[in-house]
A and B are shown apart, each in its own frame.
Chain A
Amino acid sequence: MTVTVSYSGQVRAAAGVSDEKFEVPDGCALDQAVARLAAARGAALKSLLLDAAGRVQPALLLFVNDEQVMTGEARMLMPGDRILLMAPISGG
């Protein structure tokens, strides 16, 4: 199935695009989709998406269809879902 992935903050710079279509298997969970993205893209993006143990980076903010999903929360994806991966940002 196809989902849309958008990137924000530092992950956008590492991804090189603001959004893209991405193919995942039916029944794919959100954390699995993030791991697939990390494997399919460059090392710069992978280091922002996954921690040293290969789990979703706890600092990464995850949204599906504009609603936040907590890191570690089991969330199954549906065709057409819109995923947003947001690196933390701050003031200055």
Chain B
Amino acid sequence: MPKAKPLTDEERAVYEWQLWSPEFGEAGQERLKGSRVLISRVGGLGSVVAYELAAAGVGTLILAHGGNIKPSDLNRQLLMTHAALGTSRVQSAERRLKELNPRLDIVAVPENMSDSNAAELVAQADLIVDCAPLFQERFAMNREAVRQSKPLVECAMYDCEASITTILPGRTPCLACRHPDAPPHWRREFPVFGAVSGTVGCLGAMEAIKVLGGFGEPLAGRLLTMDLRTMSFRMLKLARNPACPVCAT
């Protein structure tokens, strides 16, 4: 768990409304201030996760995302702007987040999660939020989260549907329990609205705030799915794979 850091008077003023939240209070806010969160890609999902965590007062965000901003990013990647088209995604994200919260420390990593950098990136964080589209990235992240016993919030989306779960290593099924191998039919580009990624991004941020703040009930071993076309929500119980190549002991 993160080491709590005392608040300044300015911070008490900024976070006043959430300090009123029962079970959270100043002790929870101090834990958020001492927290380091790794967000794998700050695209449609990760932009909103990062924005909400910056607003909530998480002390350090480690943002891993390669590449430059394209026009097709702009329907959902809310930390990217028209003016910044063609420039680095993480630099745009850092600039926008600093406008929102100048107290925030940001580690901007201009590359995506991979087998070669996952161990180092995960080691820097107290919690990871998976917002990546490719299963190989997600597998690297999951493997290191389990090995280093770091909580991992998993967000996903497709068209008007989305899902979210929180992996607590040693207590819950991991990503490899559900997906031992990369799904053959998954494609990197798919239909989605920004309002869908934003919805599940807010939920992912709330999961991170609860786990780091030490209150509430995270989606441990549960998969919350939603169909925003019909506004149908469903809570599913996940199974642990006793033969999981990553988390089975």
Give me the interface of A with B, judged by CB distance under 8 Å.
8-10, 12-13, 18, 47-48, 57-59, 61, 63, 66-70, 84, 86-92
Known contacts A9-B161, A91-B133, A92-B192; is-contact A59 B237 (Cβ 8 Å): no
- Distance to closest chain B CB from A13 (angstroms): 7
Contact A91 B132 (CB under 8 A): yes
Chain A residues with CB under 8 A of B155: 91
Contact A91 B239 (CB under 8 A): no
- Distance to closest chain A CB from B83 (angstroms): 23
| Chain A CB within 8 A of B163 CB | yes
Give me the interface of B with A, judged by CB distance under 8 Å.
41, 43-46, 130-135, 138, 155-159, 161-163, 178-186, 188-190, 192, 197, 223, 225, 227, 230, 234-239, 241
User: Whose C-beta in chain A lies nearest to the C-beta of B44?
Assistant: A92
| A33 to B122 Cα, complex, angstroms | 41
| A90 to B182 Cα, complex, angstroms | 11
Contact A87 B185 (CB under 8 A): yes
Chain B residues with CB under 8 A of A89: 156-158, 161-163, 186
Contact A58 B132 (CB under 8 A): no
Contact B185 A90 (CB under 8 A): no
Contact of A59 among B163, B185, B230, B235 (CB under 8 A): B185
Contact B180 A90 (CB under 8 A): no
- Distance to closest chain B CB from A33 (angstroms): 18
23 inter-chain pairs at a CB distance below 8 angstroms, sorted by A residue, are A8-B161, A8-B225, A9-B159, A10-B158, A13-B159, A48-B185, A66-B236, A67-B239, A68-B237, A68-B239, A87-B158, A88-B156, A89-B157, A89-B161, A89-B162, A89-B163, A91-B43, A91-B130, A91-B155, A92-B44, A92-B132, A92-B188, A92-B190
Closest 9 A-B residue pairs measured CB to CB?
Answer: A59-B183, A92-B133, A91-B131, A68-B239, A89-B158, A88-B183, A89-B156, A91-B45, A67-B237
